[in-house]
Amino acid sequence: MTSLEVSHLEVSFGEKLILDDLSFSLKEGQIAALLGPSGCGKTTLLRSIAGLIQPTAGTIRFGKQLVSLSSLVMPSHKRKIGYVPQDGALFPHLTIAENIAFGLDKSLFTKDQIRHTIKEMLQLIELQGFERRMPSELSGGQQTRVALARALAIKPAIVLLDEPFSALDAELRGDLRSDVIDLLRAHQTTAILVTHDREEALVSADIVALMRDGKIIQQGTPEDVYSLPISPAIAVSTGDALVLSAAQSSDGSTHYLFNSSAAKGSVSSQGQVVIRPEEIKISRTISPDSISGVIAKIDYYGHDAMITISVAHESVMVRIPGPFDFQVGDQVALEHVGPVRYFASSVKD
């Protein structure tokens, strides 16, 4: 259990700046999810923390211990990091048991302790009885689970997971993710989970960090980043969002699809409003607070549905819980019942 502080980190490959003055910190036992587009530097950040890349500037601290400064780097094997790289990368010539035990220092543990850890880890990943198999005899998903077990077996101070669940089918993915997060929490292990799955980020982490072009541009609790995004683009990267053109007038009122009243005073800025689909209510009864539209499409997910409604020249997405009796072609009334998140056009990513 340790805290992590990454401060003004810079990593370059040749001329190319990959991590750009990146700062990020986690308290002891916190789990962070790192979300960002492909190529923005997520793996590079993990590899820098693991000691596999030498940063060009900045510092990395585990608790009070400085592990990385441009001239001083603690070698990777001394950092007590459990790292699961994107491809899992098991040792092909070692059995599953040997892979899991690989990072355990044989001079510190008895054979019984090692056997116990292997058993415990195989139970966690639900591969009991696989001790003697070779990696080539396992499916891709099973290999990922063994890579996770190998990282967790050393009871690491920090765990770094680079999209560990992406190759798994939906059911196994959900179960294993929840087991791994429970285990990390039980041992109060500080962890970073890289994912492209925004729901996985929100459900797993204490802190969600949004990364763009080598920088963390917003970080906060899942609730904060979901409900208080710093830009329309960030809103879209943490969940479904409707982005509507809008204007603000000098008296501070916001004018957009759901409030099209004439501006009082002059228009002070043009911009956009962000609405979450669950913040719009639909019914069959028009009220003074509602606008009218026609259902164009229904995407049914079982537990809920996403309904696309044509309103004037806009397509409005509305999430409603099941069961419901709306059909394509129905005329409905829409009411915006959530916060009005206004962003002036000058707000970029």
Give me the residues that bind ligand ATP (CB under 6 A), please.
Answer: 13, 18, 36, 38-44
- Comparing C-alpha atoms, which of 303, 218, 235, 217 is closest to residue 275? 235
Q: Which is nearer to ligand ATP, 204 or 248 (CB)?
A: 204
Q: Say how far apart CA 323 and CA 51 lie, in whole Å.
A: 52
* 132 touches 146 (CB < 8 A): no
Amino acid at 87: D
Q: Say how far apart CA 183 and CA 152 lie, in whole Å.
A: 9
Q: Taking the complex as a whole, how short is the minimal distance between the CB of residue 343 and ligand ATP, in angstroms?
A: 25
The SS3 assignment for 24 reads strand
The owner of tokens 């008895």 is 110
Q: Taking the complex as a whole, how short is the minimal distance between the CB of residue 51 and ligand ATP, in angstroms?
A: 15
The structure tokens listed for 200 are 């996985």
- Comparing C-alpha atoms, which of 113, 197, 213, 126 is closest to residue 155? 113
Beta-sheet strand order (sheet of 267-275) = 254-255, 242-249, 267-275, 341-344
Q: How far is CA 59 from the centre of its chain?
A: 24
The SS3 assignment for 127 reads coil
* 209 touches 219 (CB < 8 A): yes
Q: Taking the complex as a whole, how short is the minimal distance between the CB of residue 162 and ligand ATP, in angstroms?
A: 7
The owner of tokens 């059995």 is 95
Q: Which is nearer to ligand ATP, 39 or 322 (CB)?
A: 39
Q: Taking the complex as a whole, how short is the minimal distance between the CB of residue 15 and ligand ATP, in angstroms?
A: 10
Q: Taking the complex as a whole, how short is the minimal distance between the CB of residue 47 and ligand ATP, in angstroms?
A: 8
Q: Which is nearer to ligand ATP, 18 or 158 (CB)?
A: 18
Q: Which is nearer to ligand ATP, 209 or 244 (CB)?
A: 209
Q: Which is nearer to ligand ATP, 160 or 257 (CB)?
A: 160
* 277 touches 242 (CB < 8 A): yes
Q: Which is nearer to ligand ATP, 18 or 151 (CB)?
A: 18
Q: Taking the complex as a whole, how short is the minimal distance between the CB of residue 172 and ligand ATP, in angstroms?
A: 22
Stated as kind and residue range, the H or E segment containing 200 is helix 198-204
Q: Taking the complex as a whole, how short is the minimal distance between the CB of residue 214 and ligand ATP, in angstroms?
A: 8
Q: Which is nearer to ligand ATP, 36 or 229 (CB)?
A: 36
